A and B are shown apart, each in its own frame.
Chain A
Amino acid sequence: MARVVVLGAGVSGHTAASFLRRWLPKKDEVVVVSPLATYNWIPSNIWVGVGRMEASQVVFPLQPVYDRMNITFHQAKAKSIHPEGNQESSAPYILVERTDEGHEGSEEKIEYDYLINATGPKLNFGVTEGLGPHGGHSWSVCTPEHATQAASAFAESIERMKRGEKQIFLVGTGHGTCTCQGAAFEYIVNLEFELRRHKVRDKADIVWISNEYELGDFGMGGLHLKQGGYITHSKVFTESIFAERGIMWIKRAHTASVAPDRVHYERLDGTFGEEEFDFAMLLPPFRGVGLEGFDKQGQSITDKLFMPNGFMKVDADYSKKSYDDWAASDWPQTYQNPDYDSIYSVGIAFAPPHAISRPTVSPNGTPVSPAPPRTGMPSATMAKVVARNIADRILGKQCPPHTASMADMGAACVASGGAGFLDGSAAAIIVYPIIPDFERFPQYGRDLKHTFGEIGLAGHWIKNLLHHVFMYKAKMKPGWHMLPE
């Protein structure tokens, strides 16, 4: 009998656990450790954050699903990994701290044969003074709770505007090294859509602030699309969406601090600025969740398992290279830790080998460029491949490992531009490969046959459909495994 422990029940951890359960015989145990009792379909938090959905529509309790599927669930937070066991036993284990009601804080040891780290990001609000809803002055939509708080502040602003007051809305990135610009982009266009729906658009100034060098970078250097007889960079489309909706923008900006009514920021050219707001939704930068590693003697091996940013080392090429020297082949294929081959890491938790967007630093030494994103589709795809490889190893199959490099994989992303069955819209974006490969596609790094973007009502239908399909799939209802990642 083998035991596979999955840390995290987000997009990647939940996918890995579901497929492991499907592919492993009953005698093998699949264990999920996650601090929250619920699963959250994060992309739909955007709609919670503008009051278009309730938090209850984007979450569901994990325990009943796991009970039905014969997956063991520990509501707990992983603290440390002990891949060599300890002095009493060489069985690898993790140490967890329970978070379920009545047992908060108590520690437990869980042994494993295989471990998947899918713990996602730590929302690092602390790096920017005044950032975030926990004692700061800006809102977030990263969790259902954050999105609910943002929605009530947004509703309050709408009420003020209905009474004739003017409001300034500021949306974007809360630090120079943020990723996930796509989520902030969705939020700002949804916010604008809702203001029109509430007939208060004329009372609002809407401003985008971002660390991107150009709009439409999204942490992946943007993308080129064939459209209207031209090959056009996503900058053109993003600027066009903002201009069409009267959204002003500040780019190449590191948000340095957030005061109750304004942000102070540094520009890439080293100058400083400030922007007032009545309502701000600023995403935090991400880092690893802070897991530690210990060897048999109890000595720290955290730096062997993790990069300094807290993300886990996998089979990527982490050698120091200049940006111009990186290759698509530097990106991981099997997501296996190089020192401990029974440990894998998927989704946001694995350490990317380098940035995709060109790193830039202000004359004051402040980095102002996006970190690489790892969106839902690649996170789930790599999780499925890791599950396959672990299942093959347990079942004793003699075959080379399956791979899922982000340089071989495409991603589809549908960025909502307003929720409404007949008047909504979304930008449907398909990019292949995610990591530009200038050896295979010398001009733009991407295959323009499979890289595509379009704005329209159809995109909104797809976005809405994806919400229901992925909630269905995550609940592991009949036929779930046939639905694409």
Chain B
Amino acid sequence: MKHERQKTAEYFASQPTGVTLFFRKFLPWQIIRFIFINMKMMGLIWVSHRECRKKSH
């Protein structure tokens, strides 16, 4: 199939290395990331509430 416009675009894109791919599925690391991402999300909720509260008072 011809994809004349994008054949090269793939070539220029960044690609994950084998190590990155491994860690994306590596259970002990992913459990840590699960906790970390949840904490990040809680932080986001906190900062959003803080900013909205500031405007309300």
Contact = CB atoms under 8 A, between A and B. Distances in A.
Chain B CB within 10 Å, residue with most, of A239, A243, A273, A423: A243
B52 A236 contact: no
Nearest to A409: B48
Interface residues of A, number: 49
A300 interface: no
**Interface on chain A toward B: helix, strand, loop, or mixed SS?**
mixed
Contact of A243 (B10, B38, B45): B10
A404 interface: yes
Contacts of B5: 250, 273
Interface in B19-43: 23-25, 27, 30-31, 33-34, 37-38, 40-43
Nearest to A275: B3
Nearest to A399: B56
A452 interface: yes
A425 B21 CA distance: 11
Interface of A: 168, 205, 207, 236-237, 239-240, 242-244, 246, 248-250, 273, 333, 381, 385, 400-405, 408-412, 422-423, 425, 428, 430, 432-433, 447, 450, 452, 454-459, 461-462, 484-485
29 contacts: A239-B9, A240-B14, A240-B16, A242-B10, A243-B9, A243-B10, A244-B16, A248-B6, A248-B10, A249-B9, A250-B5, A333-B55, A385-B52, A402-B56, A403-B52, A403-B56, A408-B54, A410-B44, A412-B41, A422-B25, A425-B24, A450-B44, A450-B47, A457-B27, A458-B33, A458-B34, A458-B37, A459-B37, A485-B45
Interface residues of B, number: 36
Contacts of A240: 13-16
A458 B31 contact: yes
Given A243-B15, A455-B24, A462 B56 contact: no
Contacts of A428: 37
Contacts of A168: 1
